[in-house]
């Protein structure tokens, strides 16, 4: 509710500044131009949103699956953890803007480089938050499992993995946000569709309103995805909320 | 939903161990940041099969270390620990919040390889026998503290091990619930006899529940006194013989 009011106030200020501030409309289109672009170009924008949305969703799924597997492996083997953690952090310092065009020339103009880049930016938050959640399981709980006759694998399956699911969700929520940036950068590096391509192309054509419309769609998509994920978490892990309240 | 049980529901689980527990002059030292800490020095005790042994001592006298040694979670630096397979019941119930009460109680058979349904079938009759009927599907956060400890105790029983190591199981409960749980535990152990090592700092709890009480010294912990509790069961806390034993145990604790 408050968020809606803030957005409304910002749009109002933007509208006033763009109309009365003497800025060229090609540089800063007023919100009503963006809105009419959203409406007039809806078919074109919708098609490109589907492309970007597909890349984002698929990339997040790949990052979640790979992140969970790697986090479990690193949790089980301290050696692996020591070996991989620095590499993982180093992977986050790669300037994607610079590397994306190289990846596109290497992997082609299709889905592969986009998945790779989205996966790369989502992977880190997923692994780190899952790993932390796995490690936070009570030491006494692990002792108890041993005296109950549970093997290492059974404990991992029945205790540590379920405990880590809230962490996996936190990672996924961060990943949703960063994945958008990853997807747009990948598309700008070489693509014939997607909202990243729309932004590059529209800016070149001085159709700034359309570029802003694409940005607005991206933000909206991220917010919706985030909300869906939060709802899924509440539905799938009802115990995680009460547990958090209790501690 | 009435149905006839083929086996009588009151039948105990049949868990036997020939050894009981024998701890012989055990020493255990931990090296920490502030140098070495000796938790146990020359600690000995013995529990015959199906005997309930209470261990009382001041805080930090190495009682938890003792239980971990008996459960095989640690090895002594010197001395011997011989015991039948033992299972730990920690002070905190450590129920898994995503599992129902029934599935928490059935955790041991489940992780030992039984299917979900087979594990539940093991736990279900115990719920009826030990006052938890109707709570099978409740999640741990919907249960009271006493109920949670009952589920935790059933989880301990269902591990199928002859020795139960109870680490201050009722310390976190309020006084009334604690008394209620002590009577409940006495009843449960009468129906399901096990070798029990019950660590507590509550002398009354020790004399109400145990066949024998071992008093430990402050750290480094060792046994300084041993009292036999011969009162017949079921016991009343106001029994003069028990009150006298309490006094004796308190005196031994203070002298230690």
Q: What is the CATH number of the domain that holds A233?
A: 1.10.3720.10
- Strand ordering across the sheet containing B195-200: B86-89, B163-167, B195-200, B52-56, B212-216, B223-228
Q: How far apart are CA B166 and CA B195, in angstroms?
A: 11
Q: Which of A141, A243, A246 sits opposite B94 (nearest CB)?
A: A141
- The answer to whether the CB of B119 falls within 8 A of the CB of B166 is no
On the question of pLDDT at A10 being above 50, the answer is: yes
Residue A155: inside a domain, yes or no?
yes
Phi, psi angles (nearest 5°) of residue A58: -65, -40
Residue A1: inside a domain, yes or no?
no
Model pLDDT, residue A107: 86
How sure is the predictor about B7, in pLDDT bands with cuts at 50, 70 and 90?
A: very low
- The answer to whether the CB of B70 falls within 8 A of the CB of B86 is yes
Model pLDDT, residue B1: 44
How sure is the predictor about B194, in pLDDT bands with cuts at 50, 70 and 90?
A: very high
Superfamily of domain B21-85+161-255: P-loop containing nucleotide triphosphate hydrolases (3.40.50.300)
Alpha-carbon gap: A51 to the closest alpha carbon of chain B (Å): 37
Which of the 8 DSSP states describes residue B142?
G
Burial (Cβ within 10 Å: 0-12, 13-18, ≥19) of residue A61: middle
How sure is the predictor about A243, in pLDDT bands with cuts at 50, 70 and 90?
A: low
Cβ of A146 and B73 within 8 Å?
Answer: yes
| Total beta-carbon pairs less than 8 A apart between chain A and chain B | 63
Q: How far apart are CA A117 and CA A182, in angstroms?
A: 6
Q: How far apart are CA A10 and CA B109, in angstroms?
A: 60
- The answer to whether the CB of B100 falls within 8 A of the CB of B55 is no
Phi, psi angles (nearest 5°) of residue A24: -65, 135
Q: By percentage, how much of chain B surpasses pLDDT 70?
A: 95
Identify the residue among B75, B97, B105 best suited for mutation to test binding to A, counting A beta carbons within 10 A and taking the highest.
B97
Q: How far apart are CA A81 and CA A86, in angstroms?
A: 9
Largest distance between two CA atoms of chain A: 76
Burial (Cβ within 10 Å: 0-12, 13-18, ≥19) of residue A1: exposed
Residue A112: asked if its preceding bond is cis (omega within 30°), the reply is no
Instruction: Name the range with the highest mean pLDDT among B5-9, B16-20, B173-177.
Output: B173-177
Encode pLDDT of A47-66 as tens digits. Answer: 999 999 999 999 999 999 99
Domain boundaries, chain B: 21-85+161-255, 95-159
Q: Which of B107, B139, B165 sits opposite A148 (nearest CB)?
A: B107
Q: What is residue B106's three-state secondary structure?
A: coil
- Split into its structural domains, chain A has a count of 1
Residue A24: inside a domain, yes or no?
no
Q: How far apart are CA A183 and CA A56, in angstroms?
A: 6
Q: How far apart are CA A12 and CA A56, in angstroms?
A: 31
Mean per-residue pLDDT for A210-218?
Answer: 93
Residue A114: inside a domain, yes or no?
yes
Mean per-residue pLDDT for A164-168?
Answer: 92
Domain that holds residue A59: 33-246
Q: Which residues of B touch A145 (CB under 8 A)?
A: 111
ipTM score of the complex?
0.87
Model pLDDT, residue B118: 95
Encode pLDDT of A180-190 as tens digits. Answer: 989 999 998 88
Residue A237 forms contact with B (CB below 8 Å): yes
Mean per-residue pLDDT for B24-44?
Answer: 89
Encode pLDDT of B85-111 as tens digits. Answer: 999 999 899 999 999 999 999 999 999
Largest distance between two CA atoms of chain B: 63
Model pLDDT, residue B6: 47
Q: Structure tokens of B72?
A: 């095989």
Cα atoms in the 13 Å half-sphere on the side-chain side of A44? 15
């Amino acid at each position: 509710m408050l968020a809606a009011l803030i957005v409304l106030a910002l749009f109002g200020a933007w509208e006033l500044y763009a109309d009365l501030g003497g800025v060229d409309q090609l540089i800063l289109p007023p919100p009503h131009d963006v809105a009419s672009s959203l409406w007039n170009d809806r078919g074109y924008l919708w098609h490109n949103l589907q492309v970007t949305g597909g890349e984002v969703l698929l990339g997040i799924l790949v990052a979640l699956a790979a992140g969970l597997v790697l986090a479990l492996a690193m949790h089980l083997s301290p050696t692996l953890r020591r070996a991989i953690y620095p590499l993982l952090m180093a992977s986050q310092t790669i300037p994607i803007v610079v590397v994306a065009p190289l990846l596109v020339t290497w992997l082609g103009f299709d889905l592969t480089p986009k998945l790779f880049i989205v996966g790369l930016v989502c992977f880190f938050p997923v692994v780190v938050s899952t790993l932390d959640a796995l490690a936070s399981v009570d030491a006494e709980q692990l002792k108890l499992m041993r005296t109950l006759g549970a093997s290492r694998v059974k404990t991992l399956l029945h205790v540590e993995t379920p405990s880590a699911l809230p962490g996996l969700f936190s990672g996924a929520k961060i990943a949703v946000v960063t994945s958008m940036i990853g997807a747009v950068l990948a598309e700008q590096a070489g693509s014939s569709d997607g909202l990243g391509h729309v932004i590059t192309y529209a800016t070149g054509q001085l159709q700034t309103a359309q570029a802003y419309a694409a940005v607005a769609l991206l933000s909206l998509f991220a917010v919706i995805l985030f909300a869906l994920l939060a709802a899924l978490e509440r539905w799938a892990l009802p115990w995680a909320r009460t547990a958090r309240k209790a501690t | 939903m009435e149905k006839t049980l083929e086996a009588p529901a009151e039948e105990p689980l049949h868990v036997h161990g020939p050894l009981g527990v024998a701890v012989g002059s055990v020493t255990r030292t931990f090296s920490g940041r502030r140098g070495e800490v000796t938790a146990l020095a020359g600690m000995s005790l013995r529990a015959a099969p199906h005997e309930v042994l209470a261990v009382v001592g001041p805080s930090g006298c190495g009682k938890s270390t003792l239980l971990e040694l008996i459960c095989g979670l640690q090895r002594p630096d010197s001395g011997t620990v011989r015991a039948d397979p033992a299972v730990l019941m920690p002070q905190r119930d450590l129920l898994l919040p995503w599992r129902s009460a029934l599935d928490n109680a059935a955790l041991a058979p489940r992780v030992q390889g039984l299917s979900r349904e087979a594990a539940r079938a093991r736990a279900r009759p115990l719920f009826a026998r030990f006052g938890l009927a109707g709570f099978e599907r409740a999640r741990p956060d919907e249960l009271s503290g006493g109920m949670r400890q009952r589920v935790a105790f059933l989880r301990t029983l269902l591990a199928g091990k002859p020795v139960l190591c109870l680490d201050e199981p009722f310390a976190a409960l309020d006084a009334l619930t604690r008394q209620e749980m002590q009577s409940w535990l006495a009843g449960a152990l009468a129906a399901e006899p096990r070798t029990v090592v019950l660590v507590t700092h509550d002398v009354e709890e020790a004399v109400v529940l145990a066949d024998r009480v071992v008093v430990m010294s402050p750290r480094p912990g060792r046994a300084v006194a041993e009292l036999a509790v011969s009162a017949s069961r079921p016991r009343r806390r106001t029994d003069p013989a028990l009150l006298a034993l309490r006094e004796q145990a308190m005196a031994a604790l203070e002298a230690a």
